[in-house]
Amino acid sequence: MKILRFKTILLFFTVFATGISFAQNAEEEIRAMMQERDQQIKELVGPEGTEYTDEQRAELKEIINGVIDFEAMAREALAETFDTISTEQRTEFVELFSTIVSDQSLNKLDIYRAKVSYNTIESDGESARVETLAELENVRTPVNYEMEKKNGNWVIVDMEIDDVSTASSYNRQFQRIINQRGFDTLMESLRKRASRS
């Protein structure tokens, strides 16, 4: 009986220690990925006053947005409405949402020159929360990320800037339009915004 109890305790600690190890590895992996991404962006953004070619802007857009899971963020932004629309509507909604968010990421490239401090990275191996502080011209802005591991890669499923969630912010906008004028009106509005990109 004592041997069985010992083996059970040993198994618990082995699993517990393995879990800690996976979490630590995940945190290190995320930090390395985010720092490499930040460095790539800074190198492309260059000093203040830099003018960009179309190719450079396209490369910046890819690096900035390449780790974002737009489908997950779009689902969160549309909330319960996402489950009530057709597959075709979902596909178009995600595409429009991705286009709009991606294009907005290039509106103010100066922000990518900010010094980024990684305050905390907490992970259970499958999901993670990354809390950072971006400092530019003595202005400090908390920028946090909710992440998930999908197909072996870490992706961002939501971002918080100054404690405001990107998905929640869009959700408030979208639900207001849906409640007042319906989903079709929202889609028409998104098509117009995406076409101006």
H-helix or E-strand containing 165? strand 164-165
Sheet holding 127-136, edge to edge: 115-123, 127-136, 139-150, 153-161, 164-165
**Beta carbons of 78 and 124 less than 8 angstroms apart:** no
pLDDT confidence of residue 197: 63
Reported as a single tens digit per residue, the pLDDT across 102-111 is 998 888 888 8
pLDDT confidence of residue 59: 93
pLDDT confidence of residue 129: 97
pLDDT confidence of residue 8: 41
Reported as a single tens digit per residue, the pLDDT across 78-97 is 999 999 999 999 999 999 99
pLDDT confidence of residue 94: 97
For every one of its 197 residues, what pLDDT tens digit does the chain have, with 9 covering 90 and above?
Answer: 545 443 444 344 433 333 444 456 889 999 999 999 999 999 998 888 788 888 998 999 999 999 999 999 999 999 999 999 999 999 999 999 999 999 988 888 888 999 999 999 999 989 999 999 999 988 999 999 999 999 999 999 999 999 999 999 999 999 999 999 999 999 999 999 999 86
pLDDT confidence of residue 49: 76
pLDDT confidence of residue 23: 53
pLDDT confidence of residue 16: 37
The alpha carbon of 104 is separated from its chain's Cα centroid by a whole number of angstroms, namely 14
Q: What are the backbone dihedrals phi and psi of residue 51, each rounded to the nearest 5 degrees, phi first?
A: -100, 145
Cα-Cα end-to-end distance for the chain = 70
pLDDT confidence of residue 2: 46
Q: What is the largest CA-CA distance in the chain?
A: 74
CATH architecture of 2-195: Roll (3.10)
Long-range pairs of 112-115 with CB within 8 A, sequence gap ≥ 24 = 112/41, 112/42, 112/45, 112/64, 113/42, 113/45, 113/48, 114/141
Pairwise CA distance, residues 166 & 163, whole Å: 9
Task: Name 141's bridge partners.
Answer: 134
pLDDT confidence of residue 52: 86
